[in-house]
Amino acid sequence: MRIALICGLMLLAITAAHARTYTVLVTSNGWHSDIAIASADIPTGRIPEVGDFPDAVYLHFGWGDANFYQSRNPGLGTTIGAAFAGPAVVHLAGLARRPSETFRDIEEIALMLDAAQFEKLVTHLHDSFARDGKPRVESSGPGVYGFSRFYPATGEFHLFNTCNTWTARGLAAAGLAITADGVRTESDLMDQLKALPKNK
């Protein structure tokens, strides 16, 4: 009797864990997209770089061309150069509030992911950092904001593999009904997300 009760409670706990949902926020400023998740939702041992933002409530992840993204005043040469294959960086910001409450003039779409989907998205984010076999990668410099930093990233940025392609690829890997094929601009991405049944 006691064994059956324990087994039943364990089954309920496992079922509850799998039934949990996670809120993922996708943002756009009109040309660039990012992914934000609650820092408390990141599993222990995953994305160790978030340790640079111990007080963050949300972590805001972006990916882009290393030269263009990190330049304070990108000139024409840097802008044109971003169209060709080159190194990428992750831009990670630690936010005290959700993105729509932190930044002006951004669009924010909330997506609900189950546990399996969320783990796949976290894997995409985790694998976007170029650690070269090390436990974690050091920041390559301050980010766009005082509460953000850049990190060396995996993959190459170019005209056909943009920040929006990266965002779409992560969401597609999580099992959402979107495709990263042909995604270049933020509208290519956001239009797909708006068309998802649960976001209508």
Answer whether residue 13 is part of any domain.
no
* Region 13-38 average pLDDT: 84
Question: Could you give the number of structural domains in the chain?
Answer: 1
- Phi then psi for 5, rounded to 5 degrees? -65, -45
Answer whether residue 4 is part of any domain.
no
Q: Which domain holds residue 58?
A: 20-199
Burial call 148-169: b when 16+ CB within 10 Å, e when fewer: bbbbbbebebbeebbbbbbbbb
Q: How confident is the model at residue 86 (pLDDT cuts 50, 70, 90)?
A: confident
Other CB atoms within a 10 A radius of the CB of residue 122 amount to: 21
Q: What average pLDDT is seen over the chain?
A: 86
- Phi then psi for 176, rounded to 5 degrees? -75, 150
Query: Hey, what amino acid is at 119?
Result: E
Answer whether residue 1 is part of any domain.
no
Answer whether residue 35 is part of any domain.
yes
Q: How confident is the model at residue 149 (pLDDT cuts 50, 70, 90)?
A: very high
Burial class of residue 74, CB neighbours in 10 A (0-12, 13-18, 19+): middle
* Region 148-152 average pLDDT: 97
Please give the pLDDT value at position 2: 55
pTM: 0.84
